[in-house]
Chain A
Amino acid sequence: MQPFEYASPKTLKEALALLGGGWSDAAVLAGGTDLISLMKDEVMSPKRVVNIKEIAELKGISKTAAGIRIGALATVDEVLSNPLIRASFPALTEAARGVASPQIRNMGTFGGDLCQRPRCWYFRAGFGLIPRHEGKDLVAEGDNRYHAIFGNGPARFVSASSFGPALVALGAKIKLASPSGTREVDAEKFFLAPSSSDVREVDLKPNEILTEVIVPATAAKNATYEVRQKDALDWPLATASVALTMKGSTVASARVVLGHVAPTPWVSAEAAKAIEGKAVTAETAEAAGKAAVAAARPLSMNAYKVQIAAAAVKRALMAAAGVKA
């Protein structure tokens, strides 16, 4: 880890003034569960670390006219245990439950989950987001068992966010503040597939702080299903978050979003189309799962993730509709 200047402002305004125009000027520290390891591995070596944990206005989960506001500093555990969220957005509750371990849930924050860097082992070894070595595409020629099965490249890492797919499915808005004001981004547009290693994988500028997320009130039945090998600390192999607007017992409209299969949460119009107009049963859910991965383009080693993604979609749909396996 390289030496850095440390600041712990009490207000958002002060914090924003401490950020810079480039990524190496400053990094925002919340739970630190990702940033600290990135700094220790010298994948990131910011000159200044701005601790935002003392900023009260970024905390808390509350009901608003539009829906529910989740502050960037709400911990994963606060999301997991929040009754408002559990009542309306089980997709978020289940996504929070998937974040192991208890220590990470206690330290890690909601905003941090959205802004964390990819876990790609080439990226973490310093080869960049689109890793190349002596002219070779490391992901394509190397070990890509945990990499993307969707997207046309060149980025082939998978978005590490646990909440991203659920927020995209629920049509959430992400609020960002900079010294010049605030802006709001659709969750779906917040996540990006960079075309070079110099570009970030989220729509966040070096001088911006993610302040809160608004999840709009909805009657849609929603759920998340995460496939993770270990019950203990581990990353998902694939997840699916779904939001179903029902008309009686049939699905009027659906949002199906896969996680950990592409550089961004992956919206599957095919899966939505497959389930719309139908009642959710084991059979229709399985068909939607298959539709979700029909266009998958796995790499040399990760065809198995296609099967897992299909299972995640099937199970998320059944969970949302309350259909027993």
Chain B
Amino acid sequence: MPEYRWPEMSKRKVMGKRLNRLDGVEKASGRAKYSSDLNKPGMLHGATLVCPYAHARVKSIDTSAAEKHPGVTGVHVVSPAGTEIQWAHWEVAFVAAETELAARDALKKIKVEYEVLPHVVHEKDLNKVQSRAKAAGEQIEGDPDQALKEAAVVSEGFYGIPVLEHSCLEPHGNVVSWTPDNKVELNPTTQAVTSIRGDMARAVNVPVANVHVHQDHIGGGFGSKFQPDRWGVAAAHLSKAAGGRPVKIFLDRQIEQVIAGCRPSAFARIKLAANKEGKITLWESQSWATGGFTGGGSPPIPYVYTRIPNQRKNHSAVSTNTAPIRAWRAPNHPQASYLTCAAMDDLAAKMKMDPLELFLKNVDLTARADTYERQLKKAAEMAEWKKLWHPRGDSGRGPLKRGLGIGVCTWGGAGHDSTARCNIHPDGTVEVELGSQDLGTGTRTVIAQVAAESLGLRVNDIRVKIGDTNYPPSGTSGGSTTVGGVSSSTRKATLNALEKLFEEVAPALGAPATELEAVDGKIQVKGNPAKSLDWKAACAKLGVKTISETGQNIPRDAPKEGLNTGGVGGVQIADVTVDVETGIVKMNRIVAVQDCGTVINPKTAESQIYGAIIMSICGALMEERVLDAVTGRMLNNEMEFYKLAGIKDVGEILVHLEIDEINDKRGVIGLGEPPAIGGIAAIANAVANAIGVRVPIVPMTPMNVLNTLSGRMS
């Protein structure tokens, strides 16, 4: 069996290089085809009818006029009479037609009678939604009452973070055909090429082997694209009804923003206590959140500083007439980081203590004291904390106030179950095949880098083939598990294939296979370039035979193999300027110090962090689902008042990845989630530092900032 461990850092030739994404030009030039770009021969267009009410019962539904509409091939009802609808924009029926226009016109001919029922859509005020709140039960650690009595300082605060929408640029949807031979062809937009196959098979009751899935690219998922969803299953049924013609259904932006993914809110009243040295002794929280009608969303608090000795926690899940949550890049962590770090920052302010000192003084309450201590110090140095930090509110004259704040993160990120296949052909071409997907983060590129490193080739010598269920199964891209999974399986598959190649070439080089190595495009006797064959000549020895070997990353076995692992920490420091006359917060800079393991491509790794920070800036300053109390509908289900940062709103982003020999020995760790966690907390604390008072509710829009400064925040 080959030695799978990563080569030593100093000996790597392709891994560790700052390569551009292999599909960068294709994407930038528009040649990359997303499933939503597909226009297959004979394809029908679908449209989606949604319910305008936040809570209603379907009394009757009549599709006869729609079915007769010219060009319509089928109507598929998913909410028949009797259905109790629990949120606005709930899917009622889908129509397929020869043209998009015919499908949309036909939608208007579906007659639905609703019995409108009372709705609740706002959860900010827990007292008003007690009847919808489900308490999780009190959790107690240590002796909180005694700790409160003994405390030198007690800080109390209210904090809230609203529901955010995933806002994928490529909306959810798919092109599906279900042909008379009972085969299903699925072109989804998914984070789960391998597993969506089985999910679709179960949903339409065909054998898994009859389903084929193909996807080249995905335009954003962030945790919201794992399932076939109602529209996928409907498209399949509509295809079947049309004799197997492909049916395309992608959600309109107005629907996408409401039902295709959101993350839970989190609100909390938090009490923190410390002794006079600033050691935290008590955490008390009354928290609540909504995850939509079905509930859900419980932030893991206290966050990172989990070992506060005395704790009392009460959490309630509030059921609202809103669309259900989906996983979002670090589920519940950004909320927990914000609640915890804001409360700690307020405690420091109350003690007139530098928050950096408070975060440092209490690192022993974390699971990674050394890591956080090192990172806090490094981030402070990069953010010029000593020079720029000032006591809260001591921001000088004039309307522009500058401030700094800290946020922390933790995450797992170990590799998922993944199988890769490496084919070495007699002409020297190399294919690496996985039923995985590239979320735009550079997965193709790092697979090629690992394969090239293992085979002694260049990146361009590797054909990476992903996004298809004809390739070996690979895990879903969620939880930052992809890079660890695919790099480990690729490493094993390529080395297994190379071992076979050595066996074929050994006679020609007059050495045993175990004495060969692949270096710089050659197969040679170890350490002896004079006894070598170049790659092509070596592969020619295969005659007409292709080597095809697989390698699998099995999470259970991964720790002992050392190729990938999980468990990281990170610290972010934000530097903002607030205009206290307009309430506008401008980003000056965010510093991100991030723990990591083996980094295959520092450039794509840093890009992950840039993206994560931009996402945090959007969440901290702009994003918010606005719901109308009267109609129960979302008011900003578009990209105009659902605000996201543009490039000029982002400021400077300084990234420090802790790439070193010690971290490298841990193996590959996913980096999608962790840097998306601490930014909101850091920005919120920076704003408090700047203006001298806590803006309790995120996002820190001009409305929330000015309402806070003027005492209007209830």
* A binding-site residues for B, Cβ under 8 Å: 3, 41, 100-101, 119, 121-122, 124-125, 133-134, 136, 138, 141-143, 145-146, 227, 229-235, 237, 301-304, 307-308, 310-311, 314, 325
- Please name all residues of chain B whose beta carbon is closer than 8 Å to the beta carbon of A101 when the two chains form the complex: 646
Q: Which of B651-702 contact A (CB under 8 A)?
A: 701-702
Whether A231 pairs with B649 at a CB distance below 8 angstroms is: yes
Binding stretch for chain A, among B198-206, B495-503, B524-532, B622-630: B622-630
21 contacts between A and B (CB under 8 A): A121-B641, A133-B630, A141-B629, A142-B630, A142-B631, A230-B622, A230-B648, A231-B646, A233-B646, A301-B703, A303-B710, A303-B712, A304-B706, A304-B707, A304-B710, A307-B706, A308-B583, A308-B706, A311-B399, A311-B582, A325-B399
Give B701's nearest chain A residue, CB to CB. A229
Return B494 CB to nearest CB of chain A, in Å: 43
- Interface positions, chain B 571-591, Cβ under 8 Å from A, are 581-584
Residues 68-102 of B at the A interface (beta carbon under 8 Å): 101
A125 and B635 contacting across the interface, CB-CB below 8 Å: yes
CA distance A119 to B646 in the complex (A): 20
Q: Is B28 on the interface with A (CB-CB < 8 A)?
A: no
Residue B647 is within 8 A (CB to CB) of chain A in the complex: yes
Is B382 part of the contact surface with A, judged by Cβ < 8 Å? no
How many whole Å from A229's CB to the nearest CB in chain B? 6
**A304, B702: Cβ atoms closer than 8 Å:** yes
Interface size on B, residues (CB 8 A): 35
B640 touches A3 (CB 8 A): no
Residue of A nearest to B641 (CB): A121
CA distance A304 to B582 in the complex (A): 8
Of listed B399, B621, B628, B629, residue having the most chain A CB within 10 A: B628
Contacts of B710 in A (CB 8 A): 303-304, 307
Query: Is there an interface contact between B702 and A143, defined as CB atoms closer than 8 Å?
Result: no
Q: When the two chains form their complex, are residues B635 and A230 in contact, meaning their CB atoms are under 8 A apart?
A: no
Tell me the residues in window 544-596 of chain B with beta carbons closer than 8 Å to chain A beta carbons: 581-584
* B41 interface contact, C-beta 8 A: no
A138 close to B582 (CB less than 8 A)? no
Known: A304-B702, A325-B398, A325-B399. 7 other contacts (CB 8 A): A101-B646, A142-B635, A229-B622, A230-B622, A230-B648, A231-B649, A302-B703
For the complex, would chain A's binding face be called helix, strand, loop or mixed by DSSP majority? loop
Q: For the complex, what is the distance from the CA of A234 to the CA of B638, rounded to whole Å?
A: 13
Residue of B nearest to A41 (CB): B254
Taking CB atoms, residues of chain B closer than 8 Å to A3 are 101
Q: Is the CB of A232 within 8 A of B646?
A: yes
A144 to chain B, nearest CB (A): 10
Quick check: B707 and A229 within 8 Å, CB to CB?
no
A119, A124, A311 interface centre (most CB from chain B within 10 Å): A311
The residues of A that contact B425 with a CB separation of less than 8 Å are: none
A230-B707 CB under 8 A given contacts A133-B631, A143-B628 = no
Closest residue to A134 on the B side, CB-wise? B630
Kindly state whether residue B279 has any CB partner on chain A within 8 Å.
no
Q: Are B628 and A229 in contact (CB under 8 A)?
A: no
- Convert B100-132 into 0s and 1s, putting 1 for each residue whose CB lies closer than 8 angstroms to a CB of A: 010000000000000000000000000000000
Q: Does B636 contact A (CB under 8 A)?
A: yes
CB–CB A141/B630 < 8 A: yes
**Given A121-B636, A138-B631: A232 and B649 interface contact (C-beta under 8 Å):** yes
Residues of B within 8 A of A233 (CB): 640, 646
Q: Once bound together, how far apart are the Cα atoms of A89 and B583, in whole Å? A: 28
Task: Tell which of B622, B628, B636, B703 touches A138, judged by Cβ atoms closer than 8 Å.
Answer: B628
Report how far A234 CA is from B621 CA in the complex, Å. 13
Q: Pick from A133, A232, A237, A325: contact of B648, CB below 8 A.
A: A232
Instruction: Please state if B584 and A227 are interface contacts (CB–CB under 8 Å).
Output: yes
A310 CA / B706 CA spacing, docked (Å): 13
What is the bound-complex CA distance between A122 and B628, given in angstroms? 10
Cβ B702 vs Cβ A311 within 8 A: no
B residues 383-420 with Cβ under 8 Å of A?
A: 398-399
Looking at A100, A134, A231, A314, the one whose CB has the most chain B CB atoms below 10 A away is A231
The residues of A that contact B702 with a CB separation of less than 8 Å are 227, 229, 237, 304, 308
Asked if B643 is at the interface of the complex by the 8 Å CB criterion, the answer is: yes
CA distance A3 to B627 in the complex (A): 32
Which residues does chain B contribute within 8 Å of A136, judged by CB atoms?
Answer: 630
Q: How far does the Cβ of A235 sit from chain B's closest Cβ, in whole Å?
A: 8
Give every chain A residue within 8 A of B628 (Cβ-Cβ): 138, 142-143
CB distance from A94 to the nearest CB of B (A): 16
B509 at the binding interface (Cβ < 8 Å): no
Most buried by A among B629, B638, B703, B707: B703
Q: Is B649 a contact partner of A230 (Cβ separation < 8 A)?
A: yes
Q: Which residue of B lies closest to A232 (CB)?
A: B646
Q: How far is the CB of B711 from chain A (nearest CB, A)?
A: 11
Give the one of B581, B621, B641 with max A CB within 10 A: B581
- Cα A122 to Cα B635 in complex, Å, equals 7
Closest 10 CB pairs of A and B: A232-B646, A231-B648, A304-B706, A311-B581, A121-B635, A304-B703, A142-B628, A227-B582, A136-B630, A307-B706
* B633 part of interface (Cβ distance < 8 Å): yes
In the complex, the answer to whether B646 meets A230 with C-beta atoms within 8 Å is yes
> How many Å lie between the Cα of A146 and that of B645 in the bound state?
19
- Cβ of A133: which chain B residues have Cβ within 8 Å of it? 630-631
Interface centre among A125, A146, A237, A304 (most CB of B within 10 A): A304
Q: B188 → chain A, closest Cβ, in Å?
A: 25
Contact B629 A146 (CB under 8 A): no
Q: Given that A229-B643, A304-B707, A308-B583 are known contacts, is A138 also in contact with B712, CB under 8 Å in the complex?
A: no
Given contacts A3-B101, A304-B707, contact A229 B630 (CB under 8 A): no
Contacting residues, chain B, for A325 (C-beta < 8 A): 398-399
- Chain B contacts for A311, CB-based, 8 A: 399, 581-582
| Contact across chains for A143 and B626 when beta carbons are under 8 A apart | yes
Chain A residues closer than 8 Å to B647, beta-carbon distance = 232
Among A233, A303, A307, chain B packs the most CB atoms within 10 A around the CB of: A307
C-alpha spacing A234/B701, complex, angstroms:
13
Interfacial chain B residues near A301, Cβ < 8 Å: 703
In the bound complex, CA of A108 to CA of B583 (Å): 29
Contacts of B712 in A (CB 8 A): 303-304
Check B584 against A229 for contact (C-beta < 8 Å).
Answer: yes
Instruction: Return chain A residues, CB-CB under 8 Å to B638.
Output: 124
Residues on the B chain within 8 Å of A235, using CB: 640
Closest to A225 in B: B582
CB distance from A218 to the nearest CB of B (A): 28
Give the distance in Å from the alpha carbon of A128 to the alpha carbon of B248 in the complex.
33
Q: Which residues of B contact A134 (CB under 8 A)?
A: 630
- Select from chain A the residue with minimum beta-carbon distance to B621: A229
Q: Which of B398, B629, B640, B643 contacts A142 (CB 8 A)?
A: B629
Please name the residue on chain A nearest to B105 by beta carbon: A2
In whole Å, how far is A236's beta carbon from the nearest beta carbon of chain B?
11
Tell me the complex Cα distance, A142–B636, Å. Answer: 13
Task: Name B101's closest neighbour in chain A (CB-CB).
Answer: A3
Q: Which residue of A lies closest to B628 (CB)?
A: A142
A97, chain B: closest CB distance, angstroms = 13
How many angstroms from the CA of A304 to the CA of B581 in the assembled complex?
10
Chain A residues with CB under 8 A of B640: 119, 233, 235
Query: Contact between A138 and B630 (Cβ–Cβ < 8 Å)?
Result: yes
Indicate if the CB atoms of A307 and B581 lie closer than 8 Å.
Answer: yes
* Distance in Å: Cβ of A228 to nearest Cβ of chain B: 8
B101 surroundings in chain A (CB, below 8 A): 3
Given contacts A232-B647, A232-B649, A325-B398, contact A304 B583 (CB under 8 A): yes
Taken together as a complex, chains A and B put the C-alpha atoms of A232 and B644 apart, in Å, by 9
Residue of B nearest to A302 (CB): B703
| C-alpha gap A41/B252 in the complex (Å) | 10
Q: How far is the CA of A229 from the CA of B399 in the complex (A)?
A: 16
**Which residues of chain A are within 8 angstroms of B703 by Cβ–Cβ distance?**
145, 301-302, 304
Name the CB-closest residue of A to B646: A232
**CB closest residue in chain B, given A101:** B646
Q: Please name all residues of chain B whose beta carbon is closer than 8 Å to the beta carbon of A125 when the two chains form the complex.
A: 633, 635
Distance A325 CA – B581 CA, assembled complex (angstroms): 12
CB-defined contacts of A308 to chain B, threshold 8 Å: 581-583, 702, 706
Greatest chain A CB density within 10 A among B633, B635, B707 is at: B635
